[in-house]
Amino acid sequence: MSNIGSYEKRRENFSWDIAKEVLAWKEDEILNIGAMCSDRICAQGKGDKKALIWQGFGGKQKTYTFNDLRVLSNGFAKFLQDLGVAPGEKVCLFMDKIPELYVSFLGVLKMGAVAQPLFSAFGDESLEVRLLSADTKVIFTTRKHVKKVRKIQDRLPALEKIVVVEGNPNKLRDEEIYMSMEDFRVENFKVYEAGPDTPSVLHYTSGTTGQPKGAQHGHGSIWGQALTTSWVLDLKDDDIYWCTADPGWVTGTSYGIIGPWSLGVTQCVLDSGFTSAAWYKFIQENKVTVWYSAPTAIRSLMRDGEELVKQYDLSSLRHLASVGEPLNAEAVIWSEKVYGLPFLDTFWQTETGSMMITNIPGVKIKPGSMGKPFPGIEAGILDLQTNEPVTEPGTVGLIAFRPGWPSMFKEYVKKPDIYRSKFVGAADDAMPAELRVDESIWYVSGDRASFDKDGYYWFVGRDDDVINTGGHLVGPFEIESALVEHEAIAEAAAIGKPDEVNMEVVKVFITLNPSFEPSDDLELNIMNFIRKRLSPLAMPQEIEYMEKLPKTRSGKILRRYLKALEWGHEVGDLSTLEDD
């Protein structure tokens, strides 16, 4: 029997207070995500239960109980407090998927600071933009990644402390601090008492025409994250859960930390490179029961075939789910054939903080569909011209949601105007708090879809130029800004190009400065330039040289024209294209 029971009944009799019942949380208990995922579980008598089974390169494994999480996260909290970090200040977590990343996340929240996890593959420029935007005060990193921080620290006036959590302390610079997590076990720590809107986690999402935006969440997000974990991922007390996402992205925190640990569920983490064989072996050895992954990985598993699957015992699996990008029907059908279980697609965003439209256990799956709105979520499709809800099945429009769910982001850091622009039906002078409670307002996702006569939603695509590569959104503006800093490049445009595995990869169009000519060496140089400055995700997989980029008469590069040509779509109205 699934945790959710009857979907229709849950829709009829829904209240977000059900999350408190699911968590057995009482009104006199403290609201703080860090404590609710560790101290509270210990208070329920589960202190000796395994919380984290971690495996790194070479098969090295470490195991931590919920009591370990409690005392070690207390150590991080006290360490930050002793450094002089105040509640509300930003603390960046910039490391691979090592145990310190997961434990420090809880510790930062326990002392009232804001956790800012960043993808460890980011280059120094991507890191700088995000740290500068957040006015980050402290960064936790490793000897592998501290070199990137050193390159930019002089340009980060708010950054006061660089803490390295592993490696040789004798090889650090004078201004850097060494911390060994195991040396900071603290039995008692007075946890910061938060309210639902008290800032908790800051995640960055990409934009089309500007720098990445910091989506700020609050401690009350746990109600949405816990309930969707229980009802959609169907986690039970005896499950062994594996979320393959990196906590540098929102899936890795909402459902790779908060969701499972708030329910007191054991989770596994594999911190090594992807191969299908390694993943299957990890599932087999740890007897994983619930697996939450991404379509990119699933398509890679499909490519390696059914015969490889037969070499491993995957009989422990009972429930599969997918996130990050549309899951094609073929992948759903294939997984049911080879694993005996379909992957259930889930749709949500950095800004929403938790699942919004999803396939749910016990509800009929239509392969290729996003599913139906989660109970408590009022979803709609808005007309592309009028922003009014459409009523006719099959009509393509913008996916939108009525504000008010607990995991909804509270602001874009330092970007109030962009925050307001995400809502339609709001007065021009409406303040962010009003946007979250006005029932006449819609939050607009920026994605297009339609619904069918049965209420299932079907994804169509992004409404902007943001590139979805492997489930991660990459902003073309950030890529273009970095490209034009290369000595050979005069102008640049970045788009997403179709890709069988990753959905999209980055393709760039460039014009060269005088004295530079196209060559294989230059192409490789440009690719590596972006990989090091931004990240492997932003690295172009194809470069096309042009004498002139298509622009409007006002000088704006027409990415949509380039993308239409690449995807074989109609180019649309070109009346604003500048004359030759």
CATH code at position 287: 3.40.50.12780
Q: How far apart are CA 162 and CA 142, in angstroms?
A: 10
- 528-566: pLDDT as tens digits: 999 998 999 999 999 999 998 887 655 667 787 888 888
Judgement on whether residues 348 and 361 belong to the same structural domain of the protein: yes
Residue 523: give its domain's CATH number. Answer: 3.30.300.30
Residue with tokens 């859960």: 241
Judgement on whether residues 362 and 229 belong to the same structural domain of the protein: yes
H/E element, 512: strand 503-512
CB 317 within 8 A of CB 295: no
Judgement on whether residues 444 and 480 belong to the same structural domain of the protein: no
- pLDDT score at 429: 76
Residue 405: give its domain's CATH number. Answer: 2.30.38.10
Q: Which residue has the higher pLDDT, 522 or 328?
A: 522
Range of the domain at 341: 1-17+220-377
Spell out the SS3 assignment of 148-174: HHHHHHHHCCCCCEEEECCCCHHHCCC
Return the half-sphere exposure (C-beta side, CA atoms, 13 A cut-off) of residue 36. Answer: 32
**What is the percentage of the chain residues whose pLDDT exceeds 90?**
75
Q: How far apart are CA 218 and CA 199, in angstroms?
A: 4
- 16-51: pLDDT as tens digits: 999 999 999 988 899 999 999 999 999 999 999 999
Largest CA distance in the chain: 74
For range 52-67, the mean pLDDT: 95
Residue with tokens 């604003």: 576
- 192-230: pLDDT as tens digits: 999 999 999 999 987 666 788 999 999 999 999 999 999
Judgement on whether residues 472 and 449 belong to the same structural domain of the protein: no
Tokens at residue 323, please? 């996130």
CB 379 within 8 A of CB 185: no
For strand 50-56 and strand 61-65, is the pairing parallel, antiparallel, or unpaired?
antiparallel
Residue 212 within any structural domain of the chain: no
Q: Is 95 left (phi over 0), alpha (psi -120 to 50) or beta?
A: beta
- pLDDT score at 257: 98
Judgement on whether residues 371 and 392 belong to the same structural domain of the protein: no
Residue 476 within any structural domain of the chain: yes
- 473-531: pLDDT as tens digits: 888 878 988 898 899 998 888 999 988 888 889 999 999 988 899 999 999 999 999 99
Last residue of a domain, one of 443, 462, 481: 462
Number of domains observed in the structure of the chain:
4
Residues facing 462 on adjacent strands: 447
Judgement on whether residues 238 and 161 belong to the same structural domain of the protein: no
Judgement on whether residues 331 and 432 belong to the same structural domain of the protein: no
Residues facing 472 on adjacent strands: 469
- 452-470: pLDDT as tens digits: 999 999 998 877 778 888 8
Residue with tokens 């360490």: 79
